[in-house]
Structure 1
Amino acid sequence: MMGRKTIQEIQSGYKTGSWTTLDITKYYLKRIKKKDPALNSYITVAKDRATGEAKRLEAKSSSGEQTGLLYGIPLSYKDNIDTKGIRTTYGSSIDANHIPDKNAAIVQRLLLQDSILLGKNNLHEYALGVTSNNPHYGPVHNPWNHEYTPGGSSGGSAAAVAADLTAASIGTDTGGSVRIPAASCGVVGLKPTYNKVPTEGVFYVSWTLDHVGPITANMTDLAILFGAMTKQSYLPYLNQDIRGLRVGVPTSYFNEHIDPETYALYLQSLEALESLGAILIDTDVSFVEGNSEVSLTIAASEAGYVHKSRMECCLSQYGADARAFLESSRDITSLQYIEALKTKEMYMNMFDQLFRERIDVLATPTIPIPARKIGVDEVHFGDYTESVFDAMTRYTGLFNMVEVPALSIPCGLTSEGLPVGLQLVARKDREDLLIRAGYAYEQDQLKEFYRLRDQICAGY
């Protein structure tokens, strides 16, 4: 087997006898061993567990037993998602030797669908940042250019998918942590509707904002994996017909303080959607000004509570940026926290009205800048200077508060050869609209992008 294979292609090969589950598992393990030293996308590779599972699944299939939706598909998991008997560090030194005694709900659900657990992906420490520059396990490198970050906090997951070191990966998203690395690595990432995918067994940043979501190489894989994650089928929505789809184009906020090449590629993606029959509708979103501070208040307050005992015993063992984020929680009053939760409700109501009355999907850039070099902490927009964290989360964090589904799909490359993401957002429980719109856009626009990605990132 050579070259990237989709989930359907892998499973088709099982049916025709072209390869076995053990062949596929060994193929990925071999690629990880050869290519991951340069990327550092894994903290733990579960080699023995994966090969044992592959053999068990072969025996299950041979005996004529019914197999699950993800039969023989190797998956990786962000290392803040508990895996029974497999080290789960949360990207920290404090929990470096932590071995959970049970699987997170999503791990258990996907194992029951006969997937294979390849290993645990590197991440920003405790998922408290957007660069995946981990002080304890080393930085994750972007497969497009190893001098750059892959985004975060699910950076190892996105890098592994881009480099074909896993068939797909499961990440988490508090303020963009699935979509930011998906955009930075040129892959597809979905933050589902809040609570659509269970978060039990995930180490929280914020119970109000945390989501679990899939990261895949293409929209068909996303539909299959998300279907297994939610126990419903999304394959019927892989439909290229988006004629009449009302696509909202923000007239403010999402076009401000943005890299010119990123904005140009975003505008081209809007033209592509329009050429496919979508109706572009100028949309006033001025009410979202100041949302980043609201999101940060909620996230820092709840993270401070989650980390209370660890901060009391082990504050010096945190990396500098994670420590600063958690220490900021001490300055937030209960009144500020409650006010932030009330503002969150206002945003939810405003977007609910917007989706009910005017648009089906909102289209924005995923992030206002391409990936930055490892170690770079600031970004400049003319005279305006912003932290990389604030810039990267500016267009994504809002939709964690609003609890609606948001998809990031590639929409081109900058002149430096770095990917840019298009973010599509729909009302609650309308992931079907995102899958339909994303698939139509992909089929029309991304064949050459994917070919280039697999050549550069995966070496095919």
Structure 2
Amino acid sequence: MLSIKDMLEGFRKKELSPVEVTREYLKRAKQAESLNAFIQLTEETALNQAKLAEIRWSMGQAGKLEGIPLSYKDNIHVKGVPATSGSIIDRDFVPTNNAPIIQTLQKDGAIMIGKTNMHEFAFGITNNNPFYGPARNPWNPGYISGGSSGGSAVSVAANLCAASIGTDTGGSIRIPASCCGLIGLKPTYGLLNNSGITPLSWSLDHNGPIVQNTADLALVMGALTNSNYSYENTSIKGWRMGIPSNFFTDRIEPEVLEVYESTLKRFEELGASLVYVEIPHVEETSSLTFTLAIAEAGYVHKDRIARNLGKYGEDVKQIMESSSSIQAIDYINALRRKEQITEEFDILFKDIDLIVTPTLPALPKAIGEGGVQFNGETESIFNCMIRYTSYFNLTGHPALSIPAGLSEERLPVGVQLVGKKMSEQGLISAAAAFEKHYLGNFYKMRESVCSATAVSYQ
């Protein structure tokens, strides 16, 4: 399938039709139903929007994403379309207004292919959904897609849409992007409006894009922020890249570590210098994240808990039950520590341009697997997979996962780039430089494997 850049060029030259492109994506999405990427396809809406896009192109009134088929995570509100948040509890919830991010995308001509599968209420990282089934990884359908924006990643990797919008509270854009071999951006906290999205934790929630390449990332972010991002002729020669000396290579699988170390060497080959830095108070991440997320989720869900506690999936039910046990003093202390840690982390960027870490400590696991083994000890898959991502939800800094290699079993490995606040352009530039020199063969492999899986897996 074509990139967003190529599609827009094809529409501009009248070599492609938004209606025909949309029909092709809908056809593929139906063929790939067994991957469980979507909770709902919005075929009628998509075709109506595509017809309008065709008119706008013919009149010279095309928006920045005119005619581009996207998918939206099912906790993002679209007027008149159910927003289940991956739960039977909200199965009949139909928003009466569009989320601001949807308003922006519609104004710029984006087409909605459908609403994507997700971990129930965004509180999990496997996307093993008890009500809608697991969103299956198109690299190997027996493996998790990552979560909670798993359906979004599957829809992009399997070429069922051009890009997707997900949400990220502890890594829920970056985790599935890494598991599915894609680019996923958690922008600076507050850069994109979070209203009109069923919340998990207002202190930690972000939304952002999952895409196939850096050009697509720049174009989608350009539409979302009404600005321009450069993705061509990028260079990182002379950049100082911070390499964590603590925490981010602890309890890590050997194949992931090997890809990470290879990526660092490649950044050096591109002219960057590596500077070791200590990430402040990173060992507090887990306890602070859970305190904030569980306390705020308990408040958001207080009415659902009172009326429908027994209807949650078992894993999310346990979380909701535990929310009332968090004391006010612990919640306030977590907020205060969040501010203090953010201030200390900001200081690192006086001497470096960005930080490079692995995205995940482990490869994607088989669907249903609940733990990860490190040195004979088992860590829960939830705790494991958010270990390297959730710190940057606490601090609110932009973090981008890019594909960096494959395991022996042909499962993707991601690397995470983190910048100072509002430095999305720098992250895109670094990713684009790496992509240009090292990801061509990876992208060909992804297209071959995932597109074939989409139409063959039953």
TM-score normalized by structure 1? 0.97
Match of 1:365? 358
Task: Return the match for 1:336 from 309, 330, 337.
Answer: 330
Name the residue aligned to 1:443. Answer: 436
- Aligned-partner SS, 1:201: coil
Q: Is the 8 A contact 1:178 1:213 kept in 2?
A: yes
- Find out whether 1:234 has 2:241 as its counterpart: no
Q: Is the 1:252–1:286 contact (alpha carbons within 8 Å) kept by the matching residues of 2?
A: no
Query: 2:183–2:403: 8 Å Cα contact kept in structure 1?
Result: yes
Q: Does residue 275 of structure 2 align to residue 287 of structure 1?
A: no
Which among 71, 75, 84 is matched to residue 66 of structure 2?
Answer: 71
| SS of alignment partner, residue 452 of structure 2 | coil
Give the match for residue 14 of structure 2: 17
Give the drift of 1:286. 5.2
TM superposition shift of 1:107: 0.6
Question: 1:158 corresponds to which residue?
Answer: 153
User: CA-to-partner distance for each residue in 1:200-256, whole Å, 9 max, x for gaps?
Assistant: 100000000000110000111001001111111102x54431011110011110010
Deviation at 1:61, TM superposition (A): 2.5
Query: How far, CA to CA, are the matches of 1:404 and 1:286 in structure 2?
Result: 14
Residues of 2 paired with 1:228 and 1:110: CA distance? 7
CA RMSD of aligned residues (A): 1.0
Unmatched 5+ stretches in structure 1? none
Alpha-carbon separation, structure 2, partners of 1:122 and 1:71: 25
Q: Is the 8 A contact 2:74 2:83 kept in 1?
A: yes
Please state how far the C-alpha of 1:14 moved relative to its aligned partner: 1.3
Whether 1:54 and 2:54 are equivalent positions in the alignment is no
- What's the CA shift for 1:359? 1.1
Determine if the alignment matches structure 1 residue 394 to structure 2 residue 387. yes
Structure 1: which 4+ aligned runs deviate by more than 3 Å? none
1:236-291 superposed Cα distances (whole Å, 9 cap, x missing partner): x5443101111001111001000110001000000000100011001112531121
Deviation at 1:98, TM superposition (A): 1.6
The whole-number CA distance in structure 2 between the counterparts of 1:155 and 1:92 is 15
The range that moved more, 85-94 or 148-157, is 85-94
Q: Secondary structure at the match of 1:459?
A: helix
* 1:318 counterpart residue number: 312
Partner of 2:106: 111
Q: Which residue of 2 aligns with 1:149?
A: 144
Q: Which residue of 1 aligns with 2:456?
A: none
Q: Give the distance between the partners of 2:49 and 2:17, measured in 1 at CA.
A: 12
Structure 2 Cα separation of the partners of residues 441 and 194 of structure 1: 25
Matched length:
453
- DSSP-derived class of the 1:290 partner: helix
How far apart, in 1, do the equivalents of 2:343 and 2:12 lie?
48
Task: Report if aligned partners of 2:360, 2:386 keep a CA contact under 8 Å in 1.
Answer: yes
The TM-score normalised by the length of structure 2 is 0.97
8 Å CA contact retained: 1:168, 1:214: yes
Query: Comparing 407-416 with 9-18, which one deviates more in the overlay?
Result: 9-18
Secondary structure of 1:370's partner?
coil
1:414 matched residue in structure 2: 407
Percentage of pairs with the same residue: 47
Question: Do the aligned residues in 1 keep the contact of 2:280 with 2:345 (CA within 8 Å)?
Answer: no
Distance across 1 between alignment mates of 2:186 and 2:94: 27
Q: Post-superposition shift, 1:187?
A: 0.4
- Offset, 1:166: 0.4
Report deviation, 1:16.
Answer: 2.4
Secondary structure at the aligned position of 2:155 is classed as: helix
Which residues in structure 2 correspond to 1:243-322 (within 5 Å)? Answer: 243-285=237-279, 287-322=281-316
| Counterpart for residue 429 of structure 1 | 422
1:65 Cα deviation after fit: 4.1
8 Å contact kept, 1:240–1:443: no
**Alpha-carbon distance change, 33 to 434 in structure 1, aligned in 2, over 3 angstroms:** same
Q: 5, 10, 13: which one pairs with 1:8?
A: 5
CA distance 1:380–1:352, shift in 2 (3 Å)? same
Moved more, 82-91 or 308-317: 82-91
Answer whether contact 2:12 2:57 (CA < 8 A) is retained. Answer: no
Aligned residue type for 1:440? A
CA distances 1:335-369 after superposition (whole Å, capped 9, x unpaired): 1111111111121011111112x211000000100
Distance in 2 between the 1:57 and 1:68 partners? 9
Letter in 1 for 2:63: G
Which residue number corresponds to residue 39 of structure 1? 35
Measured after TM superposition, the shift of residue 303 of structure 1 is 0.3
Give the aligned partner of residue 457 of structure 1: 450
1:238–1:435 Cα contact (<8 Å) kept:
no
Distance 2:122 2:206 in 1: 12
Task: Kindly state the Cα deviation for residue 19 of structure 1 after the two structures are TM-superposed.
Answer: 2.1
